[in-house]
Every structure is written in structure tokens, then in C-alpha cells.
Structure 1
Amino acid sequence: MASQTSWVPLDKNGDFSIHNLPFGIFSEGGSQPRAASRIGDFVIDLKALAGDEQAKQQLSSLRDLEEVFGQTSLNAFAERGRAVHRAVRGDLQRILSQSTDVPAILKDNESLKQKVLIPVEKVKMHLPMQIGDYTDFYAGYHHAYKVGVLFRGPDNALQPNYTHLPVGYHGRSSSIVVSGTPIRRPRGQILPNPAANPKEPITVACRRLDFELELGCFICKPNEMGESIDINKAEEYIFGFVLLNDWSARDIQAWEYVPLGPFNGKNFGSTISPWVVVADALEPFRAQPLPNDTPVQDYLKESQKESVFDIQLEVGLTSE
């Protein structure tokens, strides 16, 4: 991808450059939540931009999106499909580029700048999508192995099915909240002495609260019930990605997860970042996956060799 610079200064960490331009939902001063993108330390009010007559005339992607961008979630925009997401992001890059060919739309338009570019410290971010369903997958080998060791020891850390199919469980969509939302330590049954016989649980607040840095994916297209999706067409169904913090009450989980899997130990809270990074923004980071020594079934074989993203994620922990 050709390098671009923007006339809007970068944010401190450089996360919100012209090459990113994620989508989210924001409000300002008690206003109705609505769609936004972000560049540097500014939120881009997409409803205001799509409602400007000059912008609509010169940026074809925005012409029928003012109402869509005025909604309180990104669902309607996501449903438009990847061609629309790509076109909007392309037009945003066009007007925000240092060498923009249409400076009159925003770069040199002070009145529209005041409406469209809002300092990030003045806004509140919201959950970006209405989430109807949520499935959590055991995707990373090292992650899955370490969690397996916690419950079953190193000899049985991974079950025989792990290298053959995507292992997942159904999560609680109603307890997914935006980053920064306080998560209450859950209460439940734990086994204070796993070696004792008989097993006598007690009901207390979780003592082994854990979190996992994960990547969340939003799906933007439905499929008919009973109809499968070709793995080589699956990417067409992806709107974008968020960081996901999967909170886990490990002691509650250890007592309840056999035989039906995690429930209270996992469903009390999952937090996601407010910004959805669209799939196109991650294209430059494509890479080939690590080799899997186990041959997979034909329906799981991808023609795309670079089927994963080589992206660096980071965790910061601040104790009391």
C-alpha cells in the first residue's frame, strides 16, 4: 500500500493514521449517538459529513448514507457490504490526505471542519454494533495450550479435535460491553479443595479472575439457516475487527465446565474496543499461518495462502 500522510496531525501513539480510519459510534454533550471514524485525536462525524451538500456532490460514496450514519449502531452501514465500506474509507482518505485533490470539501473549509472534526476528549464512545449472537473460538495454539494446562495439565492440555476443526462455544451477547465499562467480580460455586473427597463446593466471589487479549470479528452478511458458506467466500461476510477482552472466572469455570463447557465462569462480561477496524485496513499485514501438522478436511482448506494477519497486540495492566 502506498504511504500517505494526512493534514490532520497523528495521535500520540500513531494508532489512528490515514491508513486505519476505523468506524465507531459516538455522542457529544448528550447528543444522539451516531456513526464516526477517527483520524489522529479527532472523531469524524460521518452524519455531518454525509449531510454536507458539497461533500455529497463530490464524494459519491456518501450520497445516500446520511440517514445510515445517523443511527445508533453501525449495523445498517455494515449490511451495505465491503464494496461500500471500501468506498467510504477511500473517500475519507481522499479528503484527509495532505495532497487531497478536493481541499475545498474539508481541508480548507473551516466551517465544516468545526462540525465534522471533534476533539476526541469531548466525545463518549458507545458499543459500535447491536450484537445478536456471539461465538467464542479457541483459535491460537499457544493460548489454547496454556488454558488447557490450567484445567487438565500438560499431558491433556489439547483435546484430539483441536487441530482438526474450529473449536468454539456459544457466548452471551447481552454481556458484551464497550471498553471502559466496569466489570463486577462474579459470585459462584468454586471448589476450595479439588483433592478432597467428596467434592464440597462453596459459593463466594471469584478468586481467580482472568482476562484474555483476543480479536473480535463482526459479521455483516447473513446466511440461510442450514446453508453453509464456502471458506473461500467467508471474508466477504466480515465487516471488521475489534480488540476483545474475554473475562474469565477460572475457579468458577473449573468446577462447572465438565461436561457442557463454560457458562457462569465466562458469561459475566466481555469488553470490546469502540473502534471497528475494517478488513481492508489489515490487508497490508497478511501472512501465511504457522504450519499445521494435521491435515484438515477439504471444506476447511483455503485457496488464500496468506490467510492470517501478522499484527502485534499489547496488554497493559495497572494494579491498585
Structure 2
Amino acid sequence: MSLIIAYIGKKGCVMAADKRKIGYFGDKEQLRTLEEELYSGAIESDEKFLKRAEELGISIKITDDANKLKVVGNCIRGEVSTKGTFETKRRRIYGTTNGYQIIELLGSETKSRKAGNKGIILFGNQYAKQLAESLISKNWKSSLSLRYMGEVFEDILSQVSSKTPTVGDKFDVLIQQPSFSDSSAQKHLNITIDHDIKVLTKFRQELTEQLVQQSLAIDMANKIIEKGDIGRVVAIDGNMLQVQLNDKTQAMDGNWKQLAGPGQNVLMFTESDNVKIGDKVVIENEDLCLKKDKSSLRCDIILCSL
């Protein structure tokens, strides 16, 4: 759901892109029918798109806030992406004066990489690209300034967006014009792209770690003990108690790291002066207390089942 138009040449690089994103939810067969109609040009407006999706029982969410262009070093990066079940496929173009490279990524792994020096490059679905190509051939002049090229590209995007819901009506235009020869452009692109992909790899690793941590937190939260036996008092020092956990209980910190396992001791605090060695510790109605008289106890740990 994108259209990116890029010019790369001796004057520099200019890219224009829409900001549309569309999310789908529904039956796969019905979704396939909707996409076929959409990409053939049979659906011409957002209103018809929403109506047809409703007829097919497909829930869709349309937003026009995606940033598909970014300045990276002395280059402009344009990206279209498709989220799969397990990985995101990305197609990127990096452009600068006298050079560009097109990269295809699966996750953060580079699947293909090709380079060029000059040209007009289009990213998007076939129908949107056909519309754009026709308009470019009518409006293009090699003598145009980069600023005016950007205005022409934005006008083309606007015209395409009026004929297909796959392209939104909000746009970004970026221009870069450093001084590079053909060879120095490719050297700069190689350095810039390699670094950019390393940043993506690091981001994905951090995101994976966050997701793992979130999954662990959800799993452990379901194991928090709200009722039942915890253990027994094995030592008393004023208002501090050593409580030995039973064989079904573990103690965790706030990051869900185990501080004590079954049979090990944890520190608890009491205001009662009627605590004896061997007293049982329980949780009743989500309150930590002594079983014999319901005297409240405090601790700085999270008590979970195994």
C-alpha cells in the first residue's frame, strides 16, 4: 500500500511518497478477492473500498501517518514493507547524487542488493505504478530543478491517490544534493547502507528481547499466588522472619528473576509478637499472613507457583 517516486541523477536525489497504511483482518479467501479487485483498479475510492470490504466481511484500518522516507547520511531512504506472520519484508531504495541502491530485506537479513547511477525508480503496486508512469511521461522534463521535480512528483501522487485507495492523499518529499561522482556515490551508499542495516539489526534484537520479556512477564503474572500455603517460619529476629518456601513456591524480583526457589529462605516482616518457629505462612484473600491468627506479613518479593 504505497507509492514512492525517486529521481537520482547528477543534480542530486528527490523522493516523494504517500503516507498510507492499510491493515486487514478477515477470511483469507475473501481477503484475496478484495486485494484482486483493489490491485486491478476496480475499486477507485476509499468509500468504495470500505463498502466492498464490509460486503466481504473484511475489517480494515486505513491510516495516513506512515513515514516511508528518511534522510540517512547524505542519502534518502524510501521503504515499502509487508508484515508476514513471522517476519517483515522490506524493499528499500537509497538514493544520492549520481547513485542509488535497491535492497530487499527479510527481517534484517539482506536478500538482494543492486546498484545504479541514474534514473526514475517507482516502488508500489503494479496498478499505481502504471498510473504514475503514464503521468511521468506526460510531465517529465530533464531540465527541471530538484525542487520543481518534487512538486511534479507530489502532483502525480495526488492524481494517483484519486484513482486508487492503495495510495493516500498525504505526501512527503525529500531532497538531497551532495557532491558525489559515480564511484564516490557508491562508496558512500555502501557505508551508509551497511550502517543502516546494523541499526535495524540492533533494533530488531532489542525488540525481540522486549517481546521475550513481555511474554515472560505475562507468563509469570499468571503464576502469582493469590491463595494457598507459602511455607513456614524457620528463624525469628525481632520483626524479621526467615520463611522457608514450600516445594511449590518460588520468589521473584520485579524483573521476574528468581531470588529463591522451593526449600530456600526468604525475608519477611511482621508487627506481631506472637510468631513461633514452625508457624505456617499463607496467602488468603490476596493477603500474606500467618495461618494461625491471620497476622499480616510484608515482603519485597513476588511469590509465584512453579
TM-score normalised according to structure 2 size: 0.19
Rg bigger for which structure? 2
Q: Could you say which structure has the higher strand fraction?
A: 2
